[in-house]
Amino acid sequence: FKGTWDDIPAAPTLKLHGAIVHLICHEEGKVVGLSGVDELQELSSVLAMEIYPPFLTGNYVTRTVDDERTVAGWLRLVNADEAGFRRDYERVMELMPYLFIVDRC
């Protein structure tokens, strides 16, 4: 930047819409499968995502409580289009309760 202090805007300009979404596990039991992962990865706003290894198929999981130790993973959403970002964010929220398929036995 080669301007002066007065050239800097008083408020920053929004160029992109984004969020980091922590994945929540709504189930407890042995993970027998994952649902909706391919759809999540195909959303135009999803820049990156990770499901933590303890929440993958074959592992016993518990429901996410309000702490970092029980979060199941994350998604990074970024989109220049606000409507696209909101649409994808809402879809993530719709899919999340059904993400982990578990055997409760």
Question: Are 46 and 75 a contacting pair, CB within 8 Å?
Answer: yes
**Sign, Cα dihedral of 36, 40, 42, 44:** positive
Given a cut of 90, whether residue 15 has pLDDT beyond it is no
d(CA 61, CA 53): 11
* pLDDT tier at 1, thresholds 50, 70, 90: low
pTM: predicted TM-score of the whole model, two decimal places: 0.84
The per-residue pLDDT for range 76-90, each reduced to its tens digit, is 999 999 999 999 999
Given a cut of 70, whether residue 98 has pLDDT beyond it is yes
pLDDT for res 38: 97
DSSP β-ladder status, 46-51 and 60-61: unpaired
